[in-house]
Amino acid sequence: MSRGVSLVYPIPRIMSTEIPLARHLSIVLRHHYATMNDQLRPLGLLVAQVPILLRLSAGQNLTQESLARHFHFDKGAVARAARGLEEAGFVRREVDPGDRRAVRLFLTSAGEALVPEIRRINREWEIRVTEGLDPEEQAAFRSLLGRVASTCLDGRCCRD
Amino acid sequence: MSRGVSLVYPIPRIMSTEIPLARHLSIVLRHHYATMNDQLRPLGLLVAQVPILLRLSAGQNLTQESLARHFHFDKGAVARAARGLEEAGFVRREVDPGDRRAVRLFLTSAGEALVPEIRRINREWEIRVTEGLDPEEQAAFRSLLGRVASTCLDGRCCRD
DNA sequence: ACGCAACAGTTGCCCGGTCAACAAAAAGCG
DNA sequence: CGCTTTTTGTTGACCGGGCAACTGTTGCGT
């Protein structure tokens, strides 16, 4: 595979028309869960909690609802992740005084202290699984995947 | 975006460095489950059973173990999918006479009758989610994803 | 002020998939 | 042949994430 993106793509060893696209997606995603959780568990975390934790490190005092919207997560998923983070002592949850329906999240000092390590672990996984691609291919993969994901989100209204 | 694969990729609306790669994978994969199951349920099927069913349509009398190996599925997942297919009347399970540990799977006539429709539904989903990509981009995406998945499978031995 | 619709969060349940433990059968070895 | 190791399938538990139902709160229209 020469430098840059070629119009001719080699067929990877496990790639065939009989292995569905979704299966490949699942293989990668499951690898993510397993690999990440192996490293996160000793820290008292699970992978579902990582996006919330990292998002809060970039700016606190966010409602669960805004996090759900940001990551395109189901509200229930965010609630559970936030609860887990609270129970582990990494996040403080406070009812919004101006809107008693809303819960606002803040990192504790224990949570803050964890952020560099979680960032490293997170980044490390992405580097590892894309290490077989050159930089342009990596960018291409990210972009194409993002566009497919975008179509899925747009397609939600067409599912009925 | 001109025809063919360009070295410059547009940034999709939801694409940003703060949305992790894994989240995009999950968005697509969850869309797959939801969309497929919406259509499969009225037929008495679930998406987890589709690979098994379609593989059997290409050649029957396969052991569960060979199916697990082929799709890189966990044995338990295949056993459960096969069981579901049997209970729905689409598959017959028989203990291998030459190796009493092994279970061999055969499509019933009801199962055979279902295959064209399942193929259509399956193919339709892939077409839909990649419709925002031109043919070269689709090929690129498939190839890149396959290579990433391949790395994950190869990387399994490095997880310890 | 009141009633209704919309919203934020909680919780139950479901699904897809994995790891692990286990039992039974087969293979391998001395 | 007997014993040990490996193999195939089963099943429990766990995890990530979605949908749906529900509760309490807020916003909106009359």
Q: Which residues of chain B have pLDDT under 50?
A: 1-17, 157-160
Q: Which pLDDT band holds residue A155 (cuts at 50, 70, 90)?
A: low
CATH, residue A76: 1.10.10.10
More confidently predicted of B160 and A56: A56
**Per-residue pLDDT reduced to its tens digit, B131-143:** 999 999 999 999 9
Which of A14-18, A68-72, A142-146, B117-121 is the least confident region?
Answer: A14-18
In a domain, residue A5? The reply is no
- With CA of B51 and C1' of each nucleotide, the nearest comes out as C16
Q: Which pLDDT band holds residue A160 (cuts at 50, 70, 90)?
A: very low
- Residue A124 belongs to what domain range? 21-149
In a domain, residue B11? The reply is no
In a domain, residue B4? The reply is no
Q: Tell me, letter by letter, the H, E, C secondary structure of chain A.
A: CCCCCCCCCCCCCCCCCCCCHHHHHHHHHHHHHHHHHHHHHHHCCCHHHHHHHHHHHCCCCEEHHHHHHHHCCCHHHHHHHHHHHHHCCCEEEEECCCCCCCEEEEECHHHHHHHHHHHHHHHHHHHHHCCCCCHHHHHHHHHHHHHHHHHHHHHHHHCC
More confidently predicted of A32 and B8: A32
Q: What pLDDT, on the 0 to 100 scale, is given for residue A5?
A: 33
Q: Has residue A51 got a pLDDT over 60?
A: yes
More confidently predicted of A101 and A18: A101
Please tell me the distance from the alpha carbon of residue B58 to that of residue B102, in angstroms, as a whole number: 20
Pairwise CB contact (< 8 Å): B29 & A27: no
CB of A143 closer than 8 Å to CB of B9: yes
Determine the average pLDDT of the residues in A39-68: 96
Q: What pLDDT, on the 0 to 100 scale, is given for residue A149?
A: 96
More confidently predicted of A53 and A1: A53
In a domain, residue B75? The reply is yes
Q: What pLDDT, on the 0 to 100 scale, is given for residue A154?
A: 85
Which whole-number Å values give the CA distances from B64 to A10, A118, B49, B68, B84, in the listed order? 30, 39, 12, 6, 13
Chain B nearest CA to A18, separation (Å) = 8
Q: How many CB atoms lie within 10 A of CB B3?
A: 9
In a domain, residue B159? The reply is no
Q: Does residue B156 belong to the interface with chain A, where contact is any CB pair within 8 Å?
A: yes
More confidently predicted of B60 and A6: B60
- With CA of B77 and C1' of each nucleotide, the nearest comes out as C17
Q: Provide the token pair at A33.
A: 């869960």
Please tell me the distance from the alpha carbon of residue A87 to that of residue A96, in angstroms, as a whole number: 19
CA nearest to A127, candidates A141, A111, A138 = A138
Which residues of chain A lie closer than 8 angstroms to B11, CB-CB? 143, 146
In a domain, residue A139? The reply is yes
Q: What pLDDT, on the 0 to 100 scale, is given for residue B154?
A: 85
In a domain, residue B107? The reply is yes
ipTM value = 0.89
In a domain, residue B158? The reply is no
Q: Domains in chain B: how many in total? A: 1
Phi, psi of A76 (to 5 degrees): -60, -40
Please tell me the distance from the alpha carbon of residue A74 to that of residue A68, in angstroms, as a whole number: 6
What's the CA A36/C1' D23 distance, rounded, in angstroms? 35
